[in-house]
Amino acid sequence: MGMSVTISEAAADGRTAEQILKLQYLCYQSEAELYGDYSIEPLTQSLDSIRAELEAGSVLVARLGEEVVASVRGTVDAEGTARIGKLIVHPRMQRHGLGGRLLNAIELRLGGDGSAKRFELFSGHRSESNLQLYRKHGYAPVSTRRVDDRLTVVTLSKDAAAGAYVTSA
């Protein structure tokens, strides 16, 4: 390709929100298929909702040239829990370490100033590649919640102080 992927804070503009929405829709197709549910929130989220997330929390994007090829979102609550969500990587860019790079970057963004005491994220129980990535980066399951016959949500966390911010992919 000849270009390198750059990670930066997402601009709170309509173009970036549209790119994230399209990428999110593409990336969550496999999750919807895995669980037999195409009504999952990432596939039904509105553009206005993504715009609001761009304004309210930390949203990072990875770009290849001008194209958004990956994204992740996070917020830190009053108790110091950094909640990380919607880590997405374009299917053609998966399995090259980009998800891990984004996870490291959002941890640094949310915890670099000491405001985050722990990191928390979740995944579906059948999403083994996601769970494997999170375990590789020091996350451990802390709870499960059965949503319905098809889905159990696994919540994983790690202490921000232990958050080695893995640099290898």
Domain residues of the chain, as ranges?
5-162
Say what the pLDDT of residue 163 is: 58
Joined together, the tokens standing for residue 165 give 């911010």
- Alpha-carbon span 113 to 133, nearest angstrom: 24
Three-class SS of 52-70: HHHHHCEEEEEEECCEEEE
3-state secondary structure of 65: coil
Closest CA to 139 of 124, 117, 160, 153: 160
- The model's confidence at residue 168, banded by pLDDT at 50, 70 and 90, is very low
pLDDT at 166 over 70: no
In the numeric block, the tokens 């919640």 are attached to 145
Say what the pLDDT of residue 56 is: 87
150 vs 120, more confident: 120
Closest CA to 137 of 117, 114, 160, 116: 160
Phi-psi region of 28 (alpha: psi -120 to 50; beta: other; left: phi over 0): alpha
- Enclosing H/E stretch for 9: strand 5-9
pLDDT at 1 over 70: no
CATH of the structural domain 5-162, one choice from 3.40.50.150, 3.30.2180.10, 1.10.150.650, 3.40.630.30: 3.40.630.30
Mean pLDDT across the stretch 108-113?
A: 90
pTM: 0.90
Mean pLDDT across the stretch 34-57?
A: 93
pLDDT digits (tens, 9 = 90+) for 75-107: 999 999 999 999 999 999 999 999 999 999 999
Closest CA to 45 of 103, 94, 86: 86
Name the average pLDDT for the chain: 91
- Alpha-carbon span 10 to 139, nearest angstrom: 25
- Cβ-based neighbours of 30, under 8 Å, separated by 6 or more: 91
The Cα diameter of the chain in Å comes to 46
Joined together, the tokens standing for residue 50 give 């993504």
- Alpha-carbon span 18 to 108, nearest angstrom: 25
